[in-house]
Amino acid sequence: MRTPAKTSRRAAAAAAAAALALAGCTGQAGEEEAAPTPGVTADTVTIGTHQPLSGPAAAGYSAVSAATSAYFAYVNANGGINGRSIEYLVRDDAYEPQLTNEVVTELVEDEEVLAIVNGLGTPTHSVVLDYLADEGVPDLFIASGSRTWNQPSLYPNAFGYVAEYTTEGAALAQYAVEQEPGANVCVFGQADDYGDGILEGVEAVMGGNEITQIQTYTTSMTDVSVQLAALKAADCEVNILGTINGFTALTVATAAQMDWFPKWYVSSSGADYPTLVGHLGEETAAQLLEGMVCVNYLPFGPDDEWTALFRQINDEYNEGAPFTANTVVGMSVGYLFAEALAAAGDEPTRESLIAAVESGALQGNGIVPLSYSDVNHAGYGTVGIMTVADGVQAYNGTTYRVEVGQVTEVEADPVPLVNGGIPAG
């Protein structure tokens, strides 16, 4: 969406003020002071985000920004980045695009943030993509698997973060083909870009004609028994799910009521075991989710050093909120922004922040280092396979790199924890 009318009026007023200021200058051009960088003071850096803190998407996802805020509190308590503390302004958009436009405009024009970080959702973030590009605001680490964000020629300021939906679909399909040769593979996904992306990834590996059955749901539904009856009638043996956590729980529970227990292969957005336990209860989850396969790209496991640090931060700075995969996502995003800010220099600007991300020097904290560049603004293109065994969700040693639908097994190369998880400048 283009800049709102009030933006144009404010821009005109700012231009007029700048012209008057220049007219009053009596010194040489080289002596004029540079305009201050929005969101940067001598001791703080202010950034913002839009998140669904209320509404239908709030369950689970509202925990992301809380975890990011907790990580920044930890950083600030330990001296900040290059001597500056990070102020993180979280605005609720209730997952409604019109509200997203309003809160992001407020963050940019009234709060004058340095950057927008981890704005969540494809339909919501899409409405502010052009606006942020026009304003030159760094649009960092967008929380959506859409390919839209990875267009450096159109959006040089925008960077994705999570694995693209097509990447996850392709990885799940590849693992299914390898582990269950000859099985009837089906797809059940959300009826939007999320489910479409998962399906596209599966088709890239298997071909559309090899998928036994495809069914979809909408987030307004409370009953998916019709769709699951169709999958059961088609004798689906492996079901690849493009579902959010609530619908993953609803799906496996409904299938169990039908006395149907196929194999579940689930995208990262709907496979967080602690969250699913919250929906299903421990005993039911232990029975229905045993053997569940999913993909992930961030640290998560009982013995992982990043997980241990994030649990500590969660206990101390997040009021002991439940520790889930969304906690890890939120803190990992916080770490990556801190890493970018450290690399942006002692006097960060919007331009130096974007240059820091494009430099290729940022590693993140995933199972492989990130690979941003001036021609690649995507996040994780490599994902690992996780399985649930005896109530423990952990990586099983299979890792795939996905490029243009081509899936290649690679070795994981986890980024080590250094300096207490606080990037140094």
Q: What is the mean pLDDT of the chain?
A: 91
What's the CATH architecture for 36-163+303-380? 3-Layer(aba) Sandwich (3.40)
What's the CATH architecture for 165-296? 3-Layer(aba) Sandwich (3.40)
CA distance 239 to 231: 8
122-178 tens-digit pLDDT: 889 999 999 999 999 999 999 999 989 999 999 999 999 999 999 999 999 999 999
CA distance 193 to 58: 19
Residue 13 confidence (pLDDT)? 38
Residue 209 confidence (pLDDT)? 84
What are φ and ψ of residue 21, in 5° steps? Answer: -65, -40
Residue 56 confidence (pLDDT)? 76
27-70 tens-digit pLDDT: 444 445 667 999 999 999 999 999 999 987 887 789 999 999 99
In this structure, what is the dihedral angle of CA atoms 10, 16, 18, 24, given to the nearest 10 degrees?
A: -150
Residue 253 confidence (pLDDT)? 98
Q: Which residues are CB-neighbours of 312 under 8 A, at least 6 positions away?
A: none
Residue 34 confidence (pLDDT)? 66
Average pLDDT of the segment spanning 264-280: 93
What are φ and ψ of residue 209, in 5° steps? Answer: -75, -15
Tell whether the model's pLDDT for residue 341 goes beyond 90: yes
Residue 303 confidence (pLDDT)? 83
Tell whether the model's pLDDT for residue 395 goes beyond 90: yes
Residue 39 confidence (pLDDT)? 98
100-111 tens-digit pLDDT: 999 999 999 999
Residue 23 confidence (pLDDT)? 37
Q: By CB neighbour count within 10 A (0-12 exposed, 13-18 middle, 19+ buried), where does 21 fall? A: exposed
Tell whether the model's pLDDT for residue 14 goes beyond 50: no
Average pLDDT of the segment spanning 330-336: 98
Query: Would you kindly state where each structural domain of the chain is located, as residue ranges?
Result: 36-163+303-380, 165-296
Domains 36-163+303-380 and 165-296 share a fold: yes
Residue 232 confidence (pLDDT)? 98
Closest CA to 345 of 83, 140, 86, 111: 83
CA distance 405 to 167: 7
Residue 7 confidence (pLDDT)? 43
The DSSP element (H or E) to which 238 belongs, if any, is strand 238-242
Name the percent of the chain lying above pLDDT 90. 82
What is the model's pTM? 0.87
Residue 256 confidence (pLDDT)? 98
Tell whether the model's pLDDT for residue 9 goes beyond 90: no
Question: How does DSSP assign 149-196, residue by residue?
Answer: G--TTT-TTEEE-SPPHHHHHHHHHHHHHHHSTT--EEEEEESSHHHH
